[in-house]
Amino acid sequence: MTIHPDYWNRLYEEEERPGWDMDSATPLVKELLDLAHPLGLRSGGDLVVPGCGYGHDAAELDALGFTVTGLDFAPLAIQGAMHRYGDRVAWSHADWFTTRLGPWEAIFDHTCFVAMDPARRPDYVQACADHLRAGGLWMAVLFHDVKGRPGPPHAVPVPEMRRLAETCFEVLHLGEAVNSHPRRSGREYLLVARKLA
Ligand SMILES: C[S@@+](CC[C@H](N)C(=O)[O-])C[C@H]1O[C@@H](n2cnc3c(N)ncnc32)[C@H](O)[C@@H]1O
Protein backbone atom coordinates (compact mmCIF):
# COMPACT_ATOMS: atom_id res chain seq x y z
CA MET A 1 0.00 0.00 0.00
CA THR A 2 1.82 3.06 -1.31
CA ILE A 3 -0.07 5.30 1.13
CA HIS A 4 2.13 4.03 4.00
CA PRO A 5 5.74 5.11 4.54
CA ASP A 6 6.54 1.49 5.48
CA TYR A 7 5.85 0.39 1.89
CA TRP A 8 8.52 2.76 0.58
CA ASN A 9 10.92 2.29 3.44
CA ARG A 10 10.92 -1.47 2.80
CA LEU A 11 11.91 -0.85 -0.82
CA TYR A 12 14.84 1.31 0.32
CA GLU A 13 15.76 -1.44 2.80
CA GLU A 14 15.61 -4.24 0.20
CA GLU A 15 17.79 -2.55 -2.41
CA GLU A 16 20.46 0.03 -1.84
CA ARG A 17 19.38 1.61 -5.13
CA PRO A 18 15.67 1.07 -5.78
CA GLY A 19 14.58 0.81 -9.43
CA TRP A 20 13.52 4.44 -9.77
CA ASP A 21 16.76 5.88 -8.41
CA MET A 22 18.93 7.34 -11.21
CA ASP A 23 21.90 8.11 -8.95
CA SER A 24 21.79 11.69 -10.22
CA ALA A 25 19.30 14.49 -10.83
CA THR A 26 16.89 14.14 -13.74
CA PRO A 27 18.12 16.03 -16.83
CA LEU A 28 14.65 17.57 -16.76
CA VAL A 29 15.61 19.87 -13.87
CA LYS A 30 17.06 22.31 -16.37
CA GLU A 31 14.20 21.87 -18.83
CA LEU A 32 11.59 22.69 -16.17
CA LEU A 33 13.57 25.64 -14.84
CA ASP A 34 13.89 27.03 -18.38
CA LEU A 35 10.10 26.86 -18.66
CA ALA A 36 9.58 28.47 -15.24
CA HIS A 37 12.15 31.26 -15.63
CA PRO A 38 9.98 33.44 -17.93
CA LEU A 39 7.14 32.88 -15.45
CA GLY A 40 9.15 34.57 -12.70
CA LEU A 41 10.99 31.72 -10.95
CA ARG A 42 14.54 32.83 -10.29
CA SER A 43 17.60 31.33 -8.64
CA GLY A 44 17.37 32.25 -4.94
CA GLY A 45 13.68 31.31 -4.73
CA ASP A 46 12.52 28.69 -2.28
CA LEU A 47 11.45 25.30 -3.55
CA VAL A 48 10.21 22.04 -2.12
CA VAL A 49 10.88 18.61 -3.62
CA PRO A 50 8.13 16.25 -2.35
CA GLY A 51 9.04 12.55 -2.33
CA CYS A 52 12.69 13.56 -2.75
CA GLY A 53 14.08 10.04 -2.27
CA TYR A 54 17.88 10.15 -2.07
CA GLY A 55 17.79 13.86 -2.83
CA HIS A 56 19.51 14.12 -6.21
CA ASP A 57 17.08 16.68 -7.65
CA ALA A 58 16.97 18.69 -4.42
CA ALA A 59 20.79 18.85 -4.30
CA GLU A 60 20.95 19.93 -7.95
CA LEU A 61 18.43 22.71 -7.31
CA ASP A 62 20.48 23.79 -4.30
CA ALA A 63 23.60 23.88 -6.48
CA LEU A 64 21.69 26.11 -8.92
CA GLY A 65 21.12 28.64 -6.14
CA PHE A 66 17.64 27.81 -4.88
CA THR A 67 16.72 27.47 -1.20
CA VAL A 68 15.52 23.89 -1.10
CA THR A 69 13.49 21.65 1.18
CA GLY A 70 13.72 17.95 0.33
CA LEU A 71 10.75 16.15 1.86
CA ASP A 72 10.02 12.43 2.10
CA PHE A 73 8.03 10.30 4.55
CA ALA A 74 10.33 7.26 4.26
CA PRO A 75 13.03 7.55 6.94
CA LEU A 76 15.59 5.65 4.82
CA ALA A 77 15.10 8.08 1.93
CA ILE A 78 15.91 11.05 4.14
CA GLN A 79 18.85 9.22 5.74
CA GLY A 80 20.18 8.39 2.25
CA ALA A 81 19.79 12.00 1.13
CA MET A 82 21.65 13.30 4.18
CA HIS A 83 24.38 10.72 3.70
CA ARG A 84 24.87 11.74 0.05
CA TYR A 85 24.44 15.50 0.27
CA GLY A 86 24.86 16.55 3.90
CA ASP A 87 22.92 19.51 5.22
CA ARG A 88 23.12 21.75 2.14
CA VAL A 89 19.41 21.07 1.72
CA ALA A 90 16.77 21.27 4.48
CA TRP A 91 15.78 17.57 4.59
CA SER A 92 12.44 16.89 6.14
CA HIS A 93 10.93 13.60 7.23
CA ALA A 94 7.27 14.47 6.62
CA ASP A 95 4.12 13.45 4.78
CA TRP A 96 3.23 15.66 1.81
CA PHE A 97 -0.46 15.49 2.68
CA THR A 98 -0.11 16.69 6.26
CA THR A 99 3.13 18.67 6.56
CA ARG A 100 2.89 22.12 8.14
CA LEU A 101 6.17 23.27 6.60
CA GLY A 102 6.06 25.87 3.88
CA PRO A 103 4.43 27.57 2.09
CA TRP A 104 6.93 27.67 -0.76
CA GLU A 105 7.32 29.64 -3.96
CA ALA A 106 7.51 26.51 -6.11
CA ILE A 107 7.26 22.72 -6.09
CA PHE A 108 9.62 20.49 -8.07
CA ASP A 109 7.80 17.19 -8.42
CA HIS A 110 9.69 14.28 -9.97
CA THR A 111 8.18 10.81 -9.51
CA CYS A 112 6.11 11.78 -6.47
CA PHE A 113 2.72 12.54 -8.08
CA VAL A 114 3.05 9.46 -10.29
CA ALA A 115 3.93 7.34 -7.24
CA MET A 116 0.54 8.07 -5.65
CA ASP A 117 -2.40 5.74 -5.68
CA PRO A 118 -4.56 7.33 -8.43
CA ALA A 119 -7.46 7.68 -5.96
CA ARG A 120 -5.36 10.21 -4.03
CA ARG A 121 -4.69 12.49 -6.98
CA PRO A 122 -7.37 15.12 -6.23
CA ASP A 123 -6.10 15.42 -2.63
CA TYR A 124 -2.52 15.59 -3.87
CA VAL A 125 -3.37 18.50 -6.18
CA GLN A 126 -5.09 20.26 -3.28
CA ALA A 127 -2.00 19.66 -1.09
CA CYS A 128 0.21 21.23 -3.77
CA ALA A 129 -2.01 24.32 -3.82
CA ASP A 130 -2.07 24.48 -0.01
CA HIS A 131 1.75 24.31 0.20
CA LEU A 132 2.33 27.17 -2.27
CA ARG A 133 2.26 30.89 -1.68
CA ALA A 134 -0.11 33.00 -3.79
CA GLY A 135 0.93 32.71 -7.44
CA GLY A 136 3.29 29.79 -6.69
CA LEU A 137 4.35 27.32 -9.39
CA TRP A 138 3.96 23.55 -9.49
CA MET A 139 6.49 21.94 -11.82
CA ALA A 140 6.11 18.23 -12.41
CA VAL A 141 7.57 15.38 -14.43
CA LEU A 142 4.86 12.86 -15.31
CA PHE A 143 4.57 9.59 -17.22
CA HIS A 144 2.06 8.98 -20.00
CA ASP A 145 3.53 5.50 -20.53
CA VAL A 146 4.71 3.00 -17.92
CA LYS A 147 5.17 0.12 -20.39
CA GLY A 148 2.04 -1.64 -19.18
CA ARG A 149 3.36 -2.22 -15.68
CA PRO A 150 0.83 -2.06 -12.83
CA GLY A 151 2.62 0.72 -10.91
CA PRO A 152 3.77 2.64 -9.06
CA PRO A 153 4.67 4.64 -11.03
CA HIS A 154 1.25 5.17 -12.54
CA ALA A 155 0.74 6.69 -15.96
CA VAL A 156 -1.44 9.81 -16.08
CA PRO A 157 -3.09 10.57 -19.42
CA VAL A 158 -2.41 14.20 -20.40
CA PRO A 159 -6.11 15.25 -20.57
CA GLU A 160 -6.65 13.71 -17.12
CA MET A 161 -3.67 15.64 -15.75
CA ARG A 162 -5.05 18.88 -17.17
CA ARG A 163 -8.45 18.23 -15.63
CA LEU A 164 -6.94 17.47 -12.21
CA ALA A 165 -4.53 20.41 -12.22
CA GLU A 166 -7.19 22.88 -13.32
CA THR A 167 -9.14 22.31 -10.10
CA CYS A 168 -6.58 24.50 -8.28
CA PHE A 169 -4.10 25.74 -10.92
CA GLU A 170 -3.82 27.61 -14.19
CA VAL A 171 -1.97 25.25 -16.53
CA LEU A 172 0.82 27.21 -18.23
CA HIS A 173 2.67 24.34 -19.88
CA LEU A 174 1.77 20.72 -20.53
CA GLY A 175 4.00 19.06 -23.09
CA GLU A 176 6.43 16.28 -23.99
CA ALA A 177 9.75 16.19 -22.16
CA VAL A 178 12.70 16.57 -24.53
CA ASN A 179 15.77 15.66 -22.47
CA SER A 180 14.58 12.61 -20.55
CA HIS A 181 17.03 10.11 -19.15
CA PRO A 182 17.52 7.48 -21.92
CA ARG A 183 15.70 4.87 -19.80
CA ARG A 184 12.58 7.07 -19.81
CA SER A 185 12.84 8.61 -23.24
CA GLY A 186 9.51 9.17 -25.00
CA ARG A 187 7.46 8.38 -21.89
CA GLU A 188 7.65 11.60 -19.85
CA TYR A 189 5.88 14.94 -20.09
CA LEU A 190 6.11 18.17 -18.13
CA LEU A 191 3.62 20.32 -16.29
CA VAL A 192 4.08 23.89 -15.14
CA ALA A 193 1.03 25.38 -13.42
CA ARG A 194 0.33 28.47 -11.34
CA LYS A 195 -1.78 28.35 -8.19
CA LEU A 196 -5.13 30.04 -8.79
CA ALA A 197 -5.81 33.18 -6.77
C1 LIG B 1 9.27 6.58 -6.77
S2 LIG B 1 10.06 7.28 -5.39
C3 LIG B 1 10.90 8.66 -6.15
C4 LIG B 1 12.02 9.26 -5.31
C5 LIG B 1 12.76 10.42 -5.98
N6 LIG B 1 11.87 11.48 -6.38
C7 LIG B 1 13.55 9.94 -7.17
O8 LIG B 1 13.16 10.23 -8.31
O9 LIG B 1 14.55 9.25 -6.96
C10 LIG B 1 8.70 8.07 -4.56
C11 LIG B 1 9.08 8.70 -3.25
O12 LIG B 1 7.95 9.41 -2.73
C13 LIG B 1 7.90 9.20 -1.34
N14 LIG B 1 6.50 9.43 -0.94
C15 LIG B 1 5.40 8.73 -1.33
N16 LIG B 1 4.30 9.24 -0.73
C17 LIG B 1 4.71 10.27 0.04
C18 LIG B 1 4.05 11.18 0.91
N19 LIG B 1 2.73 11.11 1.10
N20 LIG B 1 4.78 12.13 1.53
C21 LIG B 1 6.12 12.20 1.36
N22 LIG B 1 6.81 11.36 0.57
C23 LIG B 1 6.12 10.41 -0.09
C24 LIG B 1 8.40 7.77 -1.14
O25 LIG B 1 8.85 7.53 0.16
C26 LIG B 1 9.52 7.70 -2.18
O27 LIG B 1 10.76 8.08 -1.66
Q: What is the pLDDT along the chain (197 residues), one digit of tens a residue?
A: 789 999 999 999 999 899 999 999 999 999 999 999 999 999 999 999 999 999 999 999 999 999 999 999 999 999 999 999 999 999 999 999 999 999 999 999 999 999 999 999 999 999 999 999 999 999 999 999 878 888 799 999 999 999 999 999 999 999 999 999 998 999 999 999 999 99
- C-alpha 124/C-alpha 53 separation (Å) is 18
- C-alpha 43/C-alpha 55 separation (Å) is 18
β-bridge pairing 132-143 and 104-110: parallel
CATH number of 5-195: 3.40.50.150
- C-alpha 1/C-alpha 132 separation (Å) is 27
Ligand 1 centroid – CA 34 distance (Å): 24
Which residue, among 185, 194, 124, 111, has the nearest Cα to 155 in the 3D structure?
111
The closest residue, in CA terms, to atom 14 on ligand 1 is 51
Contact at 8 Å (CB) between 122 and 97? no
Nearest atom within ligand 1 for CA of residue 21: 9
Ligand 1 centroid – CA 5 distance (Å): 9
Output the pTM of the full model: 0.97
The closest residue, in CA terms, to atom 11 on ligand 1 is 51
